[in-house]
Amino acid sequence: MRCIQERFQLMIGERIKFARKETGMTQEELSAKLGFKDRQILANIEGGKRRLAAEELMKLMEVFSKPMDFFTDPLLLVGEGAVSWRAQNVPKLLTEFEAKVRPIVALYRILGPKEGEPETALVSQLPLTPKSTFEEASLAAARLVADWSLAPVPTRTMREVAEEKLPLLVLMMDMPPEISGAAIHLTAVDTILINRNEPEGRRNYDFAHELFHLLTWQSMPPAPVDEQPAKGTKAKRVEQLAESFGATFLMPEPTVKKAWELRAGKEIHTWLNETAQFFGVSAKALYWRLRNLELLSEGDALTVQQERLTWNGAEGPRAKKPKLYSRPFMERLHRGLDQGYVSVRKAASLLETTVYGLRLLFEENGLEVPFDL
């Protein structure tokens, strides 16, 4: 409880600071309006070191013409949470969906890890810039696969390992068909959104792509909407680096070469479709990986018919779409409900489901339902 109270106090301080800077006011000027004897009192409040009194909150609402929720609602992400969509550029649709997602991510953050669970203090960033070569992006991916012990087939464990290694939340969601996914860069927990209704190959590709953006956000923040094809020289360069990273991350060179050696004369289209399924990528992605590794000769490449590269994850043993949200999210929500940090009806409302639907979500994740119907 104390940890959540401390985070709440810090949140209020950060929002006061945001409102003050938004209006161009100095700490001395705001301190005078609040009747503080010196600037340090306000500095302590903004830094989360001093609790804000009720009368001080009322005064702040008056000074900034802001509602109380602006300062006190932890489900609002005020002045934070940059989003990069992998989607068609449909502003109204993206704005509406973002409004649904932000409170869900904020809820996960405010509930925090369970007591005694270590929190990552540092956010990793890859040593890449827009001036990096495609080979350097590929090498960074290969090193990450090795560091995280993801080989030989990263798609089988990458989500769980990434959530373990990084302050990262991965959410599988029902999204409009215009949206494939998104990366949300947020203090304390970055988030990757994946449209769970898309084929497995597409989901895995989007995960690697958004992971690249989160791990390079400081040096090359992505565009708000990652349109395909990318528009603008800089945007195109960043997306090409992301593609180079993603190909190596999903299909490590040693595993691809070993699979190619074991082909044993199998018909090329059959081999590409079957091997793509093994890697959890689309057959076309595997084809281009072979081309870039120069394993597929020009002669063999000319025999490949793109329309016969059919496997993308829409069929096969892993075709069933993943469960909504994620196990770590549901575990944290379970704890929050069990300890009374969030109400059942509030949680159901945020997830746009019924109380019964919320119960099913816990049961599908193998968790005991933390409330009675």
Give the tens place of pLDDT for each residue, 191-229. Answer: 999 999 999 999 999 999 999 999 999 999 999 998 755
Q: What is the pLDDT of residue 317?
A: 61
Q: What is the pLDDT of residue 112?
A: 82
Q: What is the pLDDT of residue 265?
A: 86
Is residue 30 over pLDDT 60?
yes
d(CA 15, CA 32): 18
Cα 308–chain centre separation: 33
Is residue 16 over pLDDT 70?
yes
Q: Please, which pLDDT band fits residue 117 given cuts at 50, 70 and 90?
A: low
Q: What is the pLDDT of residue 372?
A: 85
Is residue 365 over pLDDT 60?
yes
Q: Please, which pLDDT band fits residue 175 given cuts at 50, 70 and 90?
A: very high
Share of the chain above pLDDT 70, in %: 93
pLDDT digit string, tens, across residues 312-338: 988 766 678 899 999 999 999 999 999
Q: What is the pLDDT of residue 187?
A: 76
Task: Starting at the earlier edge strand, list the strands of the sheet with 179-185.
Answer: 82-87, 179-185, 190-195, 168-173
Average pLDDT in the chain: 91
Tokens of 367: 């968790």
DSSP letter for 322, please.
P
Radius of gyration of the chain (CA): 24
Q: Please, which pLDDT band fits residue 121 given cuts at 50, 70 and 90?
A: low
| Angstrom distances, CA of residue 233 to CA of 1, 130, 133, 238 | 49, 10, 15, 9
3-state secondary structure of 171: strand
pTM of the entire predicted model: 0.88
Cα 88–chain centre separation: 18
d(CA 13, CA 139): 42
Q: CA angle at residue 194 from 193 to 199, to 5 degrees? A: 175
Share of the chain above pLDDT 90, in %: 78
Compute how many other C-beta atoms are within 10 angstroms of the C-beta atom of residue 349. Answer: 14
Q: What is the pLDDT of residue 302?
A: 86
Q: What is the pLDDT of residue 124?
A: 81
DSSP letter for 262, please.
T
Q: Please, which pLDDT band fits residue 189 given cuts at 50, 70 and 90?
A: confident
d(CA 272, CA 361): 36
SS3 content of the chain, % helix, strand, coil (to 5): 55, 5, 40
3-state secondary structure of 143: helix
Q: What is the pLDDT of residue 115?
A: 63
pLDDT digit string, tens, across residues 225-271: 987 555 566 678 999 999 999 999 999 999 999 999 999 889 999 99
| 331: Cβ contacts below 8 Å, ≥ 6 apart | 365, 367
d(CA 373, CA 114): 25
- Rounded to the nearest 5°, which phi and psi values hold at 57? -65, -45
Region 18-45: mean pLDDT is 94
Region 12-22: mean pLDDT is 93
Single-letter code of the amino acid located at 245: F
Region 139-166: mean pLDDT is 96
Closest CA to 241 of 97, 326, 139: 139
